[in-house]
């Protein structure tokens, strides 16, 4: 559970940093928040990896969720255009994250195929 909370924190921090980066265009006062948020995002992502989560899974989920959330929030907060194609793309990203997560689990020792013996060969 801890690894998922750390990863969620990394995602939220990255999205805050990215949204603040967009806000810097209009108001440079947002720049310190950009720096702090990105620092937090990478720190939390590193801590997530230390819990044993695979790099491909952690980075894939982090990146995909960041892209999807940033696109949606960009439309809601900054009025950026979000086409039907983009919405479909976001849905594909979400499905992809689910596929990566469910495919990342290694089979346990009980699910290993056994070596054939003379009796079974």
In-domain check, residue 36? yes
In-domain check, residue 89? yes
30-85 pLDDT tens trace: 999 999 999 999 999 999 999 999 898 899 899 999 999 999 999 999 999 999 99
CA distance 103 to 85: 26
In-domain check, residue 34? yes
Please tell me the total count of domains within the chain: 1
Q: Which residues contact 51 (CB under 8 A, 6 or more apart)?
A: 2, 3, 6
Residue 20's closest CA among 65, 68, 77? 77
Per-residue model confidence (pLDDT) at position 29: 96
24-39 pLDDT tens trace: 999 999 999 999 999 9
Burial of 6 (C-beta count, 10 Å sphere; 0-12/13-18/19+): buried
In-domain check, residue 111? no
Q: Are 59 and 45 in contact (CB under 8 A)?
A: yes
Per-residue model confidence (pLDDT) at position 96: 86
Q: Are 34 and 17 in contact (CB under 8 A)?
A: yes
In-domain check, residue 121? no
């Amino acid at each position: 559970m801890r690894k998922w909370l750390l990863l969620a924190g990394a995602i939220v921090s990255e999205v805050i940093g990215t949204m603040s980066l967009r806000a810097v265009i209009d108001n440079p006062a947002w720049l310190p928040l950009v720096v702090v948020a990105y620092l937090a995002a990478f720190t939390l992502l590193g801590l997530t990896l230390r819990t044993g989560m695979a790099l491909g899974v952690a980075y894939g989920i982090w990146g995909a969720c960041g892209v999807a959330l940033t696109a949606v929030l960009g439309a809601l907060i900054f009025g950026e255009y979000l086409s039907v194609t983009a919405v479909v793309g976001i849905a594909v990203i979400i499905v992809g994250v689910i596929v990566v997560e469910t495919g990342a689990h290694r089979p346990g020792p009980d699910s290993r195929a056994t070596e054939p013996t003379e009796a079974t060969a």
